[in-house]
A and B are shown apart, each in its own frame.
Chain A
Amino acid sequence: MKGLFSNRLVIAALALPAIAIIVFAMIIPIGFSAYYSFTDWAGFGKYRMIGAENYVTILTQDPVFWRSLLNALILMLATVFLQNPVAFALAALLAHISERFSRSMRTIYFIPAALSLVVIAKLWVSIFNPTYGILNKVLGFIGLGELSTSWLSNPHTALGAVIWIIVWQGFGWALLFYYTGLMTVPDEIEEAARVDGAGWFATYTKIIIPYLFPVISAVIVIDVISSLKQMELIFLSTEGGPGQLTQFIAVYLYQKAFVAGQYGYGNALSVLFVVIAICLTIMVQRLLRQKGEE
């Protein structure tokens, strides 16, 4: 039996195609990227090798880099501790109501996830508009007019507004993951818990969530990485402003590499980003594995 799971030919057939494609289309370009990160290349034309100068600048003289990491961390926390629990609770609810109603609701809840990010960004920029946006109008209507502000350009509210957009858009995905996950929980488990007299809260926290731990782990890791990789929604709404307060690494490296003509610097940011993301992922996975074993 042991030999069956170490059959070299089968392993190669299963793993090689995928790994080959990842190497071809992602690892080799990152290799190029690492090379360019040691230059002062503007993206075309001549360049010089400047050693680790870009890296030193990023780590010691670039506050925007650290701000981007902080913003990603805040987004991660919001996603894992706010968006996910709500999505899970909603998925649990949807799993226990009539199938037809549930199916319609699920499709509708998924709509923001299916729309292009351009639409989402345009919509929320319009909602947050200080003069015409519906948010300020509603606030004024219910008597909270003093809270009205220019949500996306006010330094105090910009980050919150941007994080809200991202969390809101990703909600449909979280719902999908958790719903399909809940579908895999065998009915017998829930039955057994009910027979034992456990209330729904105990059933969920002591039985179902632990059962779904691998699924939840996968979702959390995806959340962590997505938080770091956020690009389009920020680029299309605040572009990292005001004053770099809503800056995220993927937007920053795009601006440096393609707009500011600092291609080498942008690539150094990319490489650092990949390294940090990998370390963070491994850390989170290890943490979750420990928790899973408890």
Chain B
Amino acid sequence: MSTAAIDTPADAAKKLGKGALYALLVLLAFLQIFPLIWVFDYSLQKSGDLFGPDILKLSFAPQWSNYSRAFFDGHIPRYFLNSVIVVSVSSVFSIVLSFCLAYAITRMQWKLKAVAVLCVTIGMVVPIHTTLLPNFIWFGYFKLIDTHLGLIIPYIAFTLSFNTLIYIGQIKTIPTSMEESAFIDGASWPRILAIIVAPMAAPATVTVGVMTFLNNWNEFIMANTYLATDDLRTLPFSIIKFQGQYSSDYAVQFACMFLVALPPLLLYFIFSKQIMAGAIAGAVKG
């Protein structure tokens, strides 16, 4: 009769509660990871199996050829490179520009602020499809159609507004004392923004960075409309390559989808430690 582990009924209840909580978390995790397992599972089957009665199919003949087809016929290396270029450039610019704009809106006094806020609000609500035809013609004047720059610019534009909103929310929680004392110490604007404010806004940068990267990584409609040359295309297009007129090779499409989903997830996992460390450090400073 050992009483070492459980001292009181309250402790027992606490342990049970903790266990139940962990069980809940794991159950939720299973529900959330299920789509990835599902995609991976069907990427190893034959195309028609997707419409069968099994929710998951365990086959002893995994069709790894789907992956080699996805990789080569789907032009994945080329498209991957293009995606990395377009998405990195547009994400970096979007993050930096939205941070600056958010700072100007939150901290600075200027007469045209309301106009800027209106622009940001408009930028949040404009539906992408509405801009396709006008932009095709408008960007065409500047010879931006069928170029990476012609995709980077709208990628920045469509993510600026939400990012600015998040940064505004974050900057509002930062007291102005740090900036004010830095001014008194004679620091220049770039120094204040980069070394003092930006680290304290790190949590928002996490959110903004992830959102922007992911939205642009999976973006398809604009990439489809503004690009024509195959060598310039981005990763989401690889899935299209396996759509026939009447029937599509679903299994290979799923292989492509899995490959497209991997980089963001891997990045998220690898960097979340550093990201969170930065976010916490930034919070501590404030």
Residues of B within 8 A of A28 (CB): 134, 138
Contacting pair A106 B160 (CB below 8 A): no
Contacting pair A19 B131 (CB below 8 A): no
Residues of A within 8 A of B39 (CB): 115, 119, 123
Contacting pair B125 A277 (CB below 8 A): yes
How near does chain B come to A49, taking the closest CB pair, in angstroms?
17
Contacting pair B98 A18 (CB below 8 A): yes
8 A Cβ contacts from A165-189 to B: 171-173, 176-177, 180-181, 183-186
Q: How far is the CA of A216 from the CA of B35 in the complex (A)?
A: 28
Binding site secondary structure of chain A? helix
Q: How far is the CA of A113 from the CA of B32 in the complex (A)?
A: 9
CB within 8 Å for A22 and B203 given contacts A15-B116, A29-B130: no
Residues of A within 8 A of B76 (CB): none
Contact of B189 among A10, A93, A173 (CB under 8 A): A10
How near does chain B come to A291, taking the closest CB pair, in angstroms?
14
Residues of B within 8 A of A215 (CB): 169-170, 173
CB within 8 Å for A108 and B127 given contacts A180-B206, A222-B165: no
Contacting pair A27 B119 (CB below 8 A): yes
**Contacting chain A: which of B7-15, B60-68, B77-85, B277-285?**
B277-285
User: How many interface residues does B have (CB within 8 Å)?
Assistant: 93
Q: List 13 A-B contacts (CB under 8 A).
A: A14-B103, A15-B110, A29-B138, A93-B21, A105-B25, A114-B265, A115-B35, A119-B257, A119-B261, A250-B127, A274-B125, A278-B122, A282-B121
Residues of A within 8 A of B (CB): 1-2, 4-8, 10-11, 13-15, 17-19, 21-33, 43, 90, 93-94, 103, 105-120, 122-123, 126-127, 131-132, 134, 137, 171-173, 176-177, 180-181, 183-186, 211-212, 214-215, 217-218, 221-222, 225, 228-229, 231, 249-250, 253-254, 257-258, 263, 266-267, 270, 273-274, 277-278, 281-282
Residues of B within 8 A of A (CB): 21, 25, 28-29, 32-33, 35-36, 38-39, 50-53, 55, 97-98, 100-101, 103-105, 107-110, 116, 118-131, 133-135, 137-138, 153-154, 156-158, 160-162, 164-166, 168-170, 172-173, 180, 183, 189, 203-204, 206-207, 210-211, 214, 218, 220, 236, 239, 254, 257, 260-261, 264-265, 268-269, 272-273, 276, 279-280, 282-284, 286
